[in-house]
């Protein structure tokens, strides 16, 4: 029996696989909210800590109130951030809120009105925060929703949503985990001249280990890794160690490691609700894979030249013509919102989606849209008889 228990803790068994996936998906796992998930991580703490640190240089923090994998990316990307926050003001208010909480004791309670007064003094630009401004109030509502959702604050009484419309009071309590929300850094922020220096400061000094950690982080946290040319050292590492990478990810996770001439990525053979994956269930994502199918056809028909990195670059006019053809074929199956949206609006939504998933890059000066190699992995279309099927459903 002792031997069996020990063997369970030396590899990623089913419980460790589940725990690893949960750590990747959640900002942190709070014991009072997800006791079973918390205990699952604790029971496989050693093997998880070793894998994430050795492979990616990521720290697993285990506390009596929570467990957390410090998910530090290799590079900061424009799409990274908190989905709930929409503006620079939102992030500034979140930082001010955290500064306010630093001075509060655990289980301390405070009113929203008192917080509003304190935030005005903490806000970086004096006089710019105006609680009579609707947009400023909405910013605070988003921040407070996020804080409560993450467990940084506990609502004792009241509803913050009404603050955007009128003066209301909400009573909050400071939980024990509030002071652990912010990461600690190896040196003071004033010692770094740019964000990349901050990210690199936590990597090991050995060049080979440093490269490995960056590559594992990119595979875990980014949709794709692209080659920048024949002498790309990161891509040479991917090719040389592809078998080890495949074993590491496919034996320990539910991921599949895919490596092509110009792109590497982790994919899910089967959709899992715990992960945010592309394509999802949004109509714009359906349109995106339909457009990817049109792009594949056009590339094959016209033998269009690819760039050195495998991307296919189009002028905005060319992209719009492909989009118009996609709409002509499939728009009857789209939602009312997208059937009625003008082509410029559809273009903006698609480009934003493509850039978020690293499926395209756009030159803001020339408007040239470069479709990236990962997009070639997708192709979607409705069945040939989908119009008849829709008409049958409407008639039935």
Q: Confidence band (pLDDT; 50, 70, 90) for 380? A: confident
Q: Are residues 160 and 256 in the same domain?
A: no
Residue 243 falls inside a structural domain: yes
Share of the chain above pLDDT 90, in %: 71
Number of independent structural domains in the chain: 4
19-57: per-residue pLDDT in tens? Answer: 999 999 999 999 999 999 999 999 999 999 999 999 999
Q: Are residues 171 and 97 in the same domain?
A: yes
Q: Mean per-residue pLDDT for 131-137?
A: 93
332-359: per-residue pLDDT in tens? Answer: 999 999 999 999 999 999 999 999 999 9
Q: Confidence band (pLDDT; 50, 70, 90) for 270? A: confident
Residue 186 falls inside a structural domain: no
Averaged pLDDT score across all residues of the chain: 90
| Contact call for residues 177 and 152 (beta carbons, < 8 A) | yes
178-216: per-residue pLDDT in tens? Answer: 999 988 877 888 888 888 888 888 777 788 889 999 999
Q: Are residues 34 and 110 in the same domain?
A: no
Residue 157 falls inside a structural domain: yes
112-116, 189-193, 325-329: least confident range: 189-193
Q: What is the pTM of this model?
A: 0.88
Q: Are residues 288 and 383 in the same domain?
A: yes
Domain boundary among 180, 212, 244: 180
* Predicted pLDDT of residue 392: 52
Q: How far apart are CA 168 and CA 118, in angstroms?
A: 17
Q: Are residues 298 and 341 in the same domain?
A: yes
Domain boundary among 18, 36, 69: 69
Q: Mean per-residue pLDDT for 144-173?
A: 92
Q: How far apart are CA 93 and CA 136, in angstroms?
A: 10
Residue range(s) defining the domain that contains residue 249: 199-267
């Amino acid at each position: 029996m002792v031997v069996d228990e020990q063997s369970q803790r030396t590899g990623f068994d089913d419980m460790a696989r589940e725990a690893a996936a949960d750590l990747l998906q959640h900002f942190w796992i709070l014991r009072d909210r997800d006791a079973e998930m918390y205990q699952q991580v604790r029971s496989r703490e050693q093997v998880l800590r070793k894998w994430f640190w050795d492979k990616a240089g990521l720290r697993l923090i285990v506390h009596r109130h929570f467990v957390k994998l410090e998910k530090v990316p290799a590079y900061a990307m424009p799409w990274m951030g908190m989905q709930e926050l929409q503006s620079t003001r939102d992030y500034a208010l979140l930082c001010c809120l955290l500064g306010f909480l630093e001075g509060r004791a655990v289980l301390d309670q405070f009113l929203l009105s008192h917080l509003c007064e304190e935030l005005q003094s903490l806000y970086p630009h004096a006089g710019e925060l105006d609680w009579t401004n609707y947009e400023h109030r909405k910013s605070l509502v988003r921040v407070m929703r996020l804080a409560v959702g993450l467990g940084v604050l506990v609502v004792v009484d009241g509803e913050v949503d009404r603050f955007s419309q009128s003066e209301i009071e909400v009573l909050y309590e400071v939980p024990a985990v509030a002071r652990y929300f912010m990461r600690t850094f190896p040196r003071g922020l004033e010692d770094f001249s740019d964000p990349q220096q901050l990210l690199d400061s936590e990597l090991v000094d050995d060049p080979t280990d440093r490269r490995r950690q960056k590559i594992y982080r990119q595979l875990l946290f980014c949709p794709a890794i692209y080659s920048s040319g024949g002498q790309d050292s990161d891509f040479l590492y991917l090719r040389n160690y592809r078998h080890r990478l495949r074993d590491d990810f496919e034996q320990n996770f539910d991921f599949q490691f895919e490596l092509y001439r110009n792109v590497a990525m982790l994919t899910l053979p089967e959709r899992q609700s715990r992960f945010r994956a592309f394509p999802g269930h949004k109509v714009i994502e359906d349109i995106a894979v339909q457009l990817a199918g049109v792009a594949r056809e056009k590339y094959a028909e016209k033998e269009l030249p690819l760039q050195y990195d495998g991307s296919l670059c189009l002028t905005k006019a060319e992209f719009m013509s492909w989009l118009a053809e996609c709409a002509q074929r499939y728009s009857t199956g789209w939602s009312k919102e997208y059937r009625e949206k003008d082509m410029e609006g559809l273009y903006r939504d698609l480009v934003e989606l493509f850039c978020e998933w690293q499926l395209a890059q756009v030159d803001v000066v020339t408007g040239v849209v470069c479709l990236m190699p990962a997009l070639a992995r997708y192709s979607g279309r409705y069945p040939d008889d989908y119009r008849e099927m829709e008409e049958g459903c409407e008639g039935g």
